Amino acid sequence: MTRPALLAISHGTSSSAGQAAVAALVDAVAARLPGTIVRLGHVDVQQPDVAASLDAIPAGTPVVIVPLLLSAGYHVRVDLIRQSAGRDAVVIAPALGPDERLVDALVARLAAVAPSPQDALALAVAGSSDDRANEDCRITARMLGERLGREVAVGFLAAADPRLDVAVAQAGDRVVVANYLLAPGYFHDLAVTLAGSAPVAPPLLGSDRPPASLVDLVVDRYNGAAGLSD
C-alpha cells in the first residue's frame, strides 16, 4: 500500500516571518516522517494553493490534508472540501484545535510575558463567521484556564464579539494576553494594537524551533486520518 502524502495547508500570510515559522513547522513534521511525501500549501493569501499543491504530488498517491488551522471554521468545512474536489483519494484531517498540546504551547509562550498571579488573562483569537470555530476557541480558553487555575477571557480580532480591546478593558486594570494565533502576521499585529498597554505573548510559532507539542499534533492528525500508528 502506498503511504499517503501529507499536505499541510496553512491559512497563508504576507508576513515573511509568519511564512518562515509555518515552513519550519512543516520541515519539523517531515523530519518526523521519513519516507513520507510532506508538502506545504495554503488556503488563502499565499501560493501554492490547495489545487496546485495537490497537482505537485505524484498522481495515484493518496493524500491526507492536515489543516494548520486552530479551529474548524469555513476554510476547513467548505474551502478545503471544494478546493480538493478534483483529486481522488484525499482525506481531510480535523483542525488542530482544541487540543491539550495547543494549551502546552500557549502556556510556554505565556512565559515570555511572565504573568503574575494578580494579572487577568485574555486569549486573543482570530474569530470566524462560523460560530462553531469560535466555540472551539472558547473551549481552548477554558482548557487554558483549567491548566492555570484561573479564568481566561476570550477576545476576538474579527467576525465575533467581544473584540479583544473590549475583553481586555472588561478584564481589569492588569491584563496579560495569551496569543492563540499560529504565527506572526496581520492578526498578531492587530492583537498587539487592540491590546493597548497589555502585554501580548508571542504566537505559537516564531523564529525559534517549533514546539514539539505542535509537531506531535500535526503528525497525530496525519496518522489518525491515514489510519496509521505513530
Asked whether residue 57 falls in the same domain as residue 132, the answer is: no
159 part of a folded domain: yes
Which CATH number characterizes residue 27's domain? 3.40.50.1400
Q: Give the rounded distance of the alpha carbon of 203 from its chain centre.
A: 9
pLDDT of residue 78: 80
33 part of a folded domain: yes
Asked whether residue 118 falls in the same domain as residue 191, the answer is: yes
Q: How far apart are CA 56 and CA 33, in angstroms?
A: 19
Asked whether residue 71 falls in the same domain as residue 138, the answer is: no
Q: Give the rounded distance of the alpha carbon of 161 from its chain centre.
A: 20
* pLDDT surpassing 80 at residue 75: no
Q: At what angle do helices 16-32 and 212-226 cross, to 10 degrees?
A: 60
* pLDDT surpassing 70 at residue 122: yes
Q: What is the pLDDT of residues 159-181, one digit of tens each?
A: 999 999 999 999 989 999 999 99
pLDDT of residue 86: 82
Number of residues assigned to the chain: 230
Question: Which phi and psi angles does 210 have, rounded to 5°?
Answer: -60, 140
150 part of a folded domain: yes
Asked whether residue 82 falls in the same domain as residue 115, the answer is: no
Which CATH number characterizes residue 137's domain? 3.40.50
Asked whether residue 77 falls in the same domain as residue 154, the answer is: no
73 part of a folded domain: yes
pLDDT of residue 224: 96
200 part of a folded domain: no
Q: How many domains does the chain have?
A: 2
202 part of a folded domain: no
93 part of a folded domain: yes
Q: What confidence tier does 25 reach under pLDDT thresholds 50, 70, 90? A: very high
Asked whether residue 160 falls in the same domain as residue 143, the answer is: yes
* pLDDT surpassing 90 at residue 73: no
DSSP state of 163: B
Asked whether residue 160 falls in the same domain as residue 218, the answer is: no
Asked whether residue 92 falls in the same domain as residue 17, the answer is: yes
Nearest alpha carbon to residue 55 among 85, 87, 82: 87
Q: Domain limits at 83?
A: 5-97+208-226
Q: What angle do CA 29, 191, 42 make, to 5 degrees?
A: 35
Asked whether residue 213 falls in the same domain as residue 130, the answer is: no
Q: What confidence tier does 72 reach under pLDDT thresholds 50, 70, 90? A: confident
Asked whether residue 104 falls in the same domain as residue 190, the answer is: yes
Q: How far apart are CA 178 and CA 143, in angstroms?
A: 13
Beta bridge partner(s), residue 152 = 121
Write down the pTM of the prediction. 0.94
Q: Which residues of 124-153 are buried (b: 16+ CB within 10 A; e: fewer)?
A: bbbbbebeebbebbbebbebbbeebeeebb
